[in-house]
Structure 1
């Protein structure tokens, strides 16, 4: 939910934001209209209720024809109050729907446009493609690290097994991510992966992304596609106090995505799958601290990529590719030699007050008044990283070099062919 006061004071900023996203500014006008209708309905209802309450006192003092007229008025007024209350309910529903249809205000500096309109911020590492490069699936299968055929046999397309050193490699990477998170002030969390609708809706995942989400209809629960959801819901309905320093969590969870609309895309290997594991950073802070916290999360992501010894680039994601909740997003994309291109490994998003407003998460400002907090998230490690690790650390003899930072966890520096 966006800041209604800000919308009323400067609707053009939100119209411009919609244009940057490639969306219609009419969504803004629809919300303004719904807001006006609802406030008008509330005023009418409150005025009629006030009249209704006042009539009781007048009737007690009145006599004769005057009293009879007042009694007649109470009958018609009761019907008017009932109709006004129904209008309040209807306009509230329309207002709620219009509010949920409007995404977060795009931050200043975020590029306009769609998926291909990102701005390149930096490139790190050597992207030379070695001769006879093998893709991650061929290499991982030959080394006994992953098995997509048996994954499909057990669960269907886009499922897989990580086996032997493949399982250990992922555990090493995720443990290293948690270790780094703790060292940089994050509280480690293993959250639930089934959440209620209000948690999913509060984080903005039941709008344009609803087709991506697994829904358990019998239980009215959702499987999360990221631990961002339960970490955001962790403090729903709470006041975080002065929030002089950001409150930071690092959630380790399995994640589930339907990959709706991705038919035929990335069907080979484990780039785009239905289930994966991830360590996700999540921060609560004051809105004025959010931009600096966003840069900090990006720094932590880059630090992990450098520990994996991967070539990567950082992009400033265009507004049309931000998603509902994000005001700005930076992606880190690692080099995939077999494809000769970069692929996304991490995202970090500044959601400003959008999620916290929906989830009613407050803090006390410098005047002691309640204010809405800001939330941010960022990926610190995930299963997809194995794709780039395998392809960038493969050796001509078919073995795999283990990044130095992971060697203490695996107890070896090379994974040899079976």
Structure 2
């Protein structure tokens, strides 16, 4: 969730962010209204509780005075009893009013939470406005290979017997596949290389659960606009993750971190699942867009003021991996309308795919600022010992889709494929032959 203080102090900045995303700026006004209603409900309930406490104290004192007067046959005993009874009745009435006010407060709390969660993270200044096609190209890297008649990755993979889509469909349905033989070795080598690079750069390697509770999935922002992409096991009230970002974000939920030595970094190696809702007819050939894939994901916790620098570091580590597999790529600054709800800024690395004569996304890295940590209640202590909300960032180091770019950019005219030097120890050869 975004910082309510920002909404109160600079609502126009949040409205601008909503417009940058192509989302409804009036949600900001709805949140402000809900916030005001909640604060009014809290004040009313607190006022009644204070009044009830005062009257209850008076009842105790009056009852004590009456009992003392009764024992001494004081002439004002009856009057004290009547006053005590009146105060007791008033306390009872206030008790009922407090209960009613607390119900109003609970409803206001719920309405505020709903309005708060409806607003995506505030887009960083400088990020492009618009949708999927409104990105800004920041840089190009590597040399696009000259391939007169490029084969696509599926033709190459089937010729090398490293991919079996037909049997994947037979077993599981559309957008499933088997990686076989050197295909399996190629993916395992790619992920192992990513894991090694992550560990060398100070990441703690994890193999996280791929089923998570609703509060963890919601905490990372994946049950909003993109909920249709997520597989749910209704009988167990669990979700299959589309990225290990989700369980790694939940790893420190409700904790106070020690960030005095710098960011805490984790790398998650996991199988990922996506329904690909709304993508029917898109990338149905091969393994560009599938329901199940494997991935090594970086995840960082840091102080908010360190998040921009950490974002650049994650992007740099992604570039190191792309250089290791020797594929040409470009870096784009993703437009606001193409950001996930939790991201304030996202850079994509898109590899050249010769058969499509286009760049296609291989990695992305997102700065989620304090949006996820606020939902998951993850904090750290500042120099004064006060607790503050942490920032989160994530970025992909390798995933199954990379095989597409590796095969197509390293293909030879006879259908063989050169294996990038960094992957040869894992695959066991320098050339894959039909």
Check whether TM > 0.5: yes
TM-score between the two structures when normalised by the length of structure 2: 0.94
- The 3-state SS of whatever aligns with 2:123 is coil
CA–CA distance in structure 1, aligned partners of residues 391 and 117 of structure 2 = 18
Give every structure 1 segment of 4 or more consecutive aligned residues whose post-TM-superposition deviation is greater than 6 Å: none
CA–CA distance in structure 1, aligned partners of residues 59 and 170 of structure 2 = 79
Deviation at 1:129, TM superposition (A): 5.0
Name 1:347's counterpart in structure 2. 364
Name 1:274's counterpart in structure 2. 291
- The 3-state SS of whatever aligns with 1:115 is coil
Deviation at 1:46, TM superposition (A): 1.2
Name 2:422's counterpart in structure 1. 405
Deviation at 1:184, TM superposition (A): 1.1
CA–CA distance in structure 2, aligned partners of residues 243 and 177 of structure 1 = 27
Deviation at 1:127, TM superposition (A): 2.8
Deviation at 1:128, TM superposition (A): 4.8
Matched, 1:190 2:207: yes
Query: Using a 3 Å threshold, how does the CA distance of structure 1 residues 312 and 90 change in structure 2: closer, same or farther?
Result: same
Q: Which of 384, 387, 390 is 2:407 aligned to?
A: 390
Matched, 1:223 2:240: yes
Contact 2:145 2:409 in 1 (8 A): no
Contact 2:259 2:302 in 1 (8 A): no
**What per-residue deviation string (whole Å, max 9, x for no partner) do you get for residues 272-300 of structure 1?**
10000000000111111100110010011
Q: How many residues are paired up?
A: 417
Contact 1:129 1:340 in 2 (8 A): no
Deviation at 1:79, TM superposition (A): 2.6
User: 1:19-418 alignment to 2 at 5 Å?
Assistant: 19-62=19-62, 63-128=80-145, 130-417=147-434
Deviation at 1:142, TM superposition (A): 1.2
Contact 2:38 2:109 in 1 (8 A): yes
Contact 1:225 1:256 in 2 (8 A): yes
Contact 1:316 1:330 in 2 (8 A): yes
**What per-residue deviation string (whole Å, max 9, x for no partner) do you get for residues 207-254 of structure 1?**
111111111111111100000001111111111124331111111000
Query: Using a 3 Å threshold, how does the CA distance of structure 1 residues 263 and 352 change in structure 2: closer, same or farther?
Result: same
> Which piece of structure 1 moves more, 117-126 or 270-279?
117-126
Name 2:65's counterpart in structure 1. none
**What per-residue deviation string (whole Å, max 9, x for no partner) do you get for residues 158-186 of structure 1?**
00000000000001110000111111111
**What per-residue deviation string (whole Å, max 9, x for no partner) do you get for residues 15-70 of structure 1?**
11111111111111111111111111111111111111221222234425433432
The Cα RMSD (Å) is: 1.2
Deviation at 1:116, TM superposition (A): 1.0
Contact 1:2 1:103 in 2 (8 A): yes
CA–CA distance in structure 1, aligned partners of residues 7 and 385 of structure 2 = 25
TM-score between the two structures when normalised by the length of structure 1: 0.97
> Which piece of structure 1 moves more, 350-359 or 73-82?
73-82
- The 3-state SS of whatever aligns with 1:303 is helix
Structure 1: gaps of 5 or more residues: none
CA–CA distance in structure 1, aligned partners of residues 378 and 96 of structure 2 = 39
**What per-residue deviation string (whole Å, max 9, x for no partner) do you get for residues 386-409 of structure 1?**
011111111111111101110111
Query: Using a 3 Å threshold, how does the CA distance of structure 1 residues 259 and 125 change in structure 2: closer, same or farther?
Result: same
- The 3-state SS of whatever aligns with 2:86 is helix
- The 3-state SS of whatever aligns with 2:256 is coil
Structure 2: gaps of 5 or more residues: 63-79
- The 3-state SS of whatever aligns with 1:405 is helix
Contact 2:219 2:372 in 1 (8 A): yes
- Rg comparison, structure with higher value: 2
